[in-house]
Amino acid sequence: MKLITLDQRTPAWHEWRAGIIGGSDAPAIMGVSPWTTIHKLWEFKTGRREPQRDNPAMARGRAMEDEALDAWSAHTGELTAPFCVQHEEFTFIGASLDGATFDGGLLVEIKCPGEKDHAAAAETRQVPAKYWPQVQHQLACVPEAEMLHYWSYRPMHATPHVLIEVKRDPAYIDAMIEREIRFWEAVKGDYPPAGDAWAAAETVYLLALDEAESAKEQLKAAKADLIAAIPKGQKKLDGQAVSAVLVEKKGSLDYKTAFEKTLEELRYIEDLPPAALELLESFETGGLLEAFRQKGSSYWDVRRK
């Protein structure tokens, strides 16, 4: 464990964090952060963007961290201290640990989350996906660590604390470190993390998109003019190069509502045989319908930010 002698939350600590990839940066680099993007993180690391300010929920969580760490110590009987550490091979990778035992064998990550995140942790006993890169990043920075405790603390909840044991995931760490290296190369090279090829294609795409949107509005207006030129009561008109036909169709059937109403009516029928009741239950839970689901597909959703 390569220690960095810094007191957390001090100006020197903030300066150090700005010059490395920290644990809280990892979710953005891995594409799972709900708060920021890898591009915004790059803008911050290259001085193009101001650091994000704490919102009330973040400020509340930070204010409770000492209390939460004391509760963890009381629960586990372990004593820890906060440390700043640096990756032994890649010095631009580091972490501010909420707590680590003095031999580095056990780390602790404190979260004082909102109701939704804490309830999910209590129910699933799994680290929320948005925090998984952070805890694995911390384990990557401390090779001596055999385990990390993810400690979700919300004293007003029916389950006031949740302890989740996190083991090192070597395959995930390797993939994450590779992405972090590429990201840092983009920071030091002062080019967007998506790459120059993407940036060039992005410019062409935006120009084409602007032209397409302009053409769409022109087309909409021209179509309205054509329809306005059709004599009242006439349902078809042929021009020299364009024709127009009034198309009439019935409204679509609301199969979902009809299906639900039918199930509701069947519930009132007495003495339904067991097989029919099982069929009803299968319909209501969606199990029977899943057998008729067609093959899924995937596509790229490309849009202007």
Partner residues linked to 161 by β-bridges = 153
Residue ranges of the chain with pLDDT lower than 50? none
Which pLDDT does position 1 carry in this prediction?
79
| Strands, E assignment, 33-141 | 81-86, 94-100, 106-111
Q: Phi then psi for 57, rounded to 5 degrees?
A: -65, -40
Residue 72, burial from CB neighbour count under 10 angstroms (0-12, 13-18, 19+)? buried
Residue 107, burial from CB neighbour count under 10 angstroms (0-12, 13-18, 19+)? buried
Residue 109, burial from CB neighbour count under 10 angstroms (0-12, 13-18, 19+)? buried
Q: What is the pTM of this model?
A: 0.76
Partner residues linked to 243 by β-bridges = 238
Write the CB contacts of 271 (distance below 8 Å, at least 6 apart in sequence): none
Contact between 102 and 81 under an 8 Å Cβ cutoff? The reply is yes
The 10s digit of each residue's pLDDT in 35-79 is 999 999 999 999 999 987 877 878 888 889 999 999 999 999 998
Which pLDDT does position 73 carry in this prediction?
96
Partner residues linked to 238 by β-bridges = 243
Write the CB contacts of 202 (distance below 8 Å, at least 6 apart in sequence): 194
Domains of the chain: 2-196 (3.90.320.10), 226-275+284-304 (no CATH)
Which pLDDT does position 285 carry in this prediction?
64
Which pLDDT does position 183 carry in this prediction?
97
How many CB atoms are located within 10 Å of the residue 56 CB?
Answer: 7
Distance (Å, whole) CA 165 – CA 137: 15
CA 54 to chain centre: 19
Which pLDDT does position 97 carry in this prediction?
96
Tokens of 197: 């090829």
Which pLDDT does position 51 carry in this prediction?
84
Contact between 65 and 113 under an 8 Å Cβ cutoff? The reply is no
Q: To the nearest 10°, report the CA torsion of 102, 103, 107, 108.
A: -20
Tokens of 50: 């101001």
Consecutive H or E run containing 169: none
Which pLDDT does position 258 carry in this prediction?
75
Which pLDDT does position 225 carry in this prediction?
95
Write the CB contacts of 103 (distance below 8 Å, at least 6 apart in sequence): 144
Our separate counts of H helices and E strands in the chain read 12, 8
Closest among 187, 226, 203 to 304, alpha carbons compared:
203
